[in-house]
Amino acid sequence: MSASKNIWAIVPIKELDGAKQRLAPLLSPAQRRALIKVMMGEVLQALAGVRGLGGIMVVTLDPHATALATQLGARVVTDGARDGHTGSVTAGLKLLAREGRGGMMTLPADIPAATAAEIEAVMAAHEPTPSFTISPAHDDLGSNTVICSPPNSVPLRFGENSYFPHLEAARLAGIEPTIVRQPGIAMDIDHPADLAAFLRLPQSAGTRTRAWLETEGVPKLLSEKGL
């Protein structure tokens, strides 16, 4: 990796009440809140173990996320925290750009199988500035990790179908994107089918998220639904 280029990680975390509504057919509101707590903890701890990272910024107004981020030495930013995923990331990267940081990496809080080694591999593939690196979701729809150098080099817009639009946005900015696939980063959890896929992922073994799901009887519930 070329001198890390002072890359900072941005993790947007919306307020936990009402989170993960698409899991409502399977999990109660209390269970969904507990699940996102476990997942965000795994993501932030993976980031804390990444070598060569300039710093971690968590964009949130949630008290639990704020406490956890502070405990791990992350910087907490509230600007843009209620502006959706794209708005939160954009607020964070604008701040990093104003501060003269060399690069920005963003990833969501719902990829609990991601590891420090995977994140380091994505960073290692990142080219000298100006550059854009992306690690997509398992369905090639989501953009689960994105690195931009400088932070505002490519306009970002996250959502259900952002991967190919991000590739196009990078090329329109005159940057050929680097694509790095990683199984843990790819496995985001939004739908009940994602939980089933996560449980089948060898890398989920040993995660706290998997232990929580098993304790709550989620594998049985998924099996009963044919997932």
Collect the ranges in the chain with pLDDT lower than 70: 1-5
Please tell me the predicted confidence (pLDDT) of residue 17: 87
CATH number for 86 = 3.90.550.10
d(CA 97, CA 95): 5
Q: End-to-end distance of the chain based on CA atoms, in angstroms?
A: 40
Can you tell me which residue has the tokens 């049985």?
220
Please tell me the predicted confidence (pLDDT) of residue 107: 98
For 32, the domain range is: 4-191
Is beta strand 55-60 parallel, antiparallel or unpaired with respect to 143-149?
unpaired
Please tell me the predicted confidence (pLDDT) of residue 76: 98
Can you tell me which residue has the tokens 């994602």?
194
Q: Is residue 218 part of a domain?
A: no
% of the chain exceeding 90 in pLDDT: 95
Q: Is residue 209 part of a domain?
A: no
Q: Is residue 60 part of a domain?
A: yes
d(CA 184, CA 25): 24
Q: Is residue 47 part of a domain?
A: yes
Please tell me the predicted confidence (pLDDT) of residue 2: 40
Can you tell me which residue has the tokens 């550059």?
131
Q: Is residue 213 part of a domain?
A: no
Please tell me the predicted confidence (pLDDT) of residue 5: 64
Residue 114: what are its φ and ψ, rounded to 5°?
A: -65, 145
Q: Is residue 205 part of a domain?
A: no
Q: Is residue 36 part of a domain?
A: yes
Q: 152: Cβ–Cβ under 8 A, 6 or more apart, which residues?
A: 93, 94, 97, 104
d(CA 95, CA 89): 10
Q: Is residue 200 part of a domain?
A: no
Indicate the pTM of the whole model: 0.95
d(CA 49, CA 53): 9
Number of domains in the chain: 1
